Amino acid sequence: MQAIQISIPEPCHESWQQMTPTAKGRFCKACAKEVVDFSKMTDSEVLNYFTEKATANVCGRVLPEQLNRNITKPVTITQKVTWYWKYLVATVLLFAKTPAKAQKDRINGGLVRQTPQSCTPVKGKMALPRTINDTPVNEIYKGKVLNENGEALPGATIQLKGTNRGAIADAGGNFTILIHKDSSKIIEVSYVGYQSKEVLLSSINKNNNIVTLAVSIFLGGDIVITYINKSPEQFAQINILDKKSKDAISNAFITIQKNSQEFKKVYTNAEGIVELENISNINEDDSYLVKISAGGYQNYETEISGEEFLNNNPLSKMYLTANKISANKINIIKATPNPISKGSSFTVTLKLLETGKYILQIINTEGNVVLNKYVQASSKNFTAALMAASDWSSGIYFIKLINSENNMLAQDSFVIQ
């Protein structure tokens, strides 16, 4: 998959908190469109979203670190290399044991009795114990990390400047830090998606023990995607519309299977259009199954022949059923407590549109899956108990709710400490 770069020529500064939550982000009334939340996505997920959408008009919420850099899919180590190292280590251990055994066979003799040495006691007047004046004296500081809207930032990092000492804010944004009286009195407060801040500890008490962080996330009216070393390929287009109103359906998720094998996963743009490229390996006799899902609509499937792709013309318009789901209802997933300690259990709460089989998938910030849990949700309000492995690295993780068709329905993030 090719590398891409994200840029936002004209950032928008509408309040994210005042927007209405949606399945992929939030709905901005000022722009009358959905703002996709890319700030919680890994590089792999961003690449998958923008597959063949270089001309798409997308409004998004992104981290500064995601802008103006090459976004590529992480390279994974193959199993072949893993087995090679296993055999190499086993061979080294085998030969390492051989000399030790040979040496053991050459050792002869018995036990040797050691004669105890006599000790001459020291006599004299014992001095009085001295009082040590450099006993460490610690000071305790307590505070709370909030955003500009007064909302707690659980998992925020508080670090004493110039040291590796610090604390992690709890679910309510509260923290306690123990500092030697002679140490630096400056702390560095940071949180994903917010500007880091240096704070004098003496100023915390004057501000009701509250540290406020400003948002460091841009809301872009138009996200521009640049493809790196992109070469022209054959082109096709699919248009997704509402069956009743004929309105375009933006951000509809489309899975295309070629001869029963997965071929593409893409999203429609603001005009309800999917532009497909890199489709040169197509034969007229190929069969393509197109599966479409969108928030508020029932899933839809249709078949397209390879000949239609090869025409390089817009494909027949596809209409989703008018049987809509309640407009503002979405699936919700939440992990508690947050942050979570390594080796401890935590709870995942689900608010579902319908019962059934689901997958709870946890990935790290590098896009690696660390846990897959299959659950049978017997009710729409469902909870599941999971265990945070003791070997998970400290940091941010994402938990996803995936249905039986491998479509992501909801996502949340949490911190492992």
- Distance from C-alpha of 72 to C-alpha of 83, rounded to nearest angstrom: 26
Q: Give the pLDDT confidence of 11-38 residue by residue, as tens digits.
A: 777 777 788 888 888 888 877 888 888 8
Q: In what order do the strands lie in the sheet with 174-180?
A: 174-180, 138-147, 210-213
The alpha carbons of the chain give a radius of gyration, in whole angstroms, of 30
**Statement: residue 167 has pLDDT above 50:** yes
Mean pLDDT score across all residues of the chain: 71
H or E element that contains 82? helix 79-106
Determine contact, residues 146/214, Cβ cutoff 8 Å: no
Higher-confidence position of 358 and 40: 358
- Distance from C-alpha of 51 to C-alpha of 56, rounded to nearest angstrom: 10
Q: Give the pLDDT confidence of 134-156 residue by residue, as tens digits.
A: 444 577 888 888 887 788 888 78
pLDDT of residue 56: 54
8-state DSSP, 310 = H
Query: Which tokens hold the place of 154?
Result: 């659980």
Higher-confidence position of 187 and 255: 187
